[in-house]
């Protein structure tokens, strides 16, 4: 299954100076880890660089999408895929086929999100209920188009951490399929 996982503030902000615009939110990081661990993560080169000392993400098959870099630029990643050679659709479907027992998660950045959303089966969105200075902004409503909300869980923040809502969406054409196998390990 091909999934997208992201967090966005009320204005669609997802990044600032190659990092997150908001303070560290433990619940969101735990949700990300629980969903992506032991699966395949796909990211652009800037997202890889933003991981810093955490790259590659442990206990995951890390893949980078880049037309200007080679695998040597990303020590520890499984492979670099060039979207000028194979389309994003081909890359994602090949990874989904290569790992039938795992889920594929697109984890950023904006360019990859914009191109890959049309091939995703599910969307895992953390809504940050506040506004932050951002230099990377997405159109959250356009991402949710053609998806059905399956579940949401609210988490109240405090004076230092904003309120957040975890939302899980499934592509509309799949939500009606009776043979669709939804994992029971979704963390809520």
State pLDDT tens for residues 38-91.
999 999 999 999 999 999 999 999 999 999 998 999 999 999 999 999 999 999
pLDDT for the residue numbered 154: 95
Domain spans, the chain: 2-103+113-159
In the predicted model, is pLDDT for residue 187 greater than 90? no
CATH number for the domain formed by residue range(s) 2-103+113-159:
3.40.430.10
Q: How far apart are the first and last CA of the chain?
A: 19
């Amino acid at each position: 299954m091909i999934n997208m996982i992201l967090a966005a503030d009320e204005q669609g902000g997802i990044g600032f100076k190659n990092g997150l615009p908001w303070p560290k939110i433990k619940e969101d990081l735990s949700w990300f880890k629980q969903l992506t661990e032991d699966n395949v993560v796909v990211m652009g080169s800037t997202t890889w660089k933003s991981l810093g000392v955490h790259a590659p993400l442990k206990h995951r098959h890390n893949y980078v999408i880049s037309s200007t870099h080679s695998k040597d630029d990303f020590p520890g990643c499984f492979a670099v895929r060039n979207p000028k050679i194979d389309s994003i659709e081909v890359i994602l479907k090949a990874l989904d086929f290569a790992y039938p027992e795992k889920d594929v998660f697109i984890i950023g950045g904006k360019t990859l999100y914009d191109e890959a959303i049309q091939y995703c089966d599910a969307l895992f969105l953390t809504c940050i209920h506040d506004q932050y200075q951002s230099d990377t902004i997405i159109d959250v409503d356009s991402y949710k188009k053609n998806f059905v909300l399956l579940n949401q869980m609210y988490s109240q923040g405090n004076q230092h951490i904003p309120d957040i809502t975890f939302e899980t969406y499934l592509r509309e054409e799949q939500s009606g399929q009776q043979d669709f196998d939804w994992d029971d390990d979704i963390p809520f």
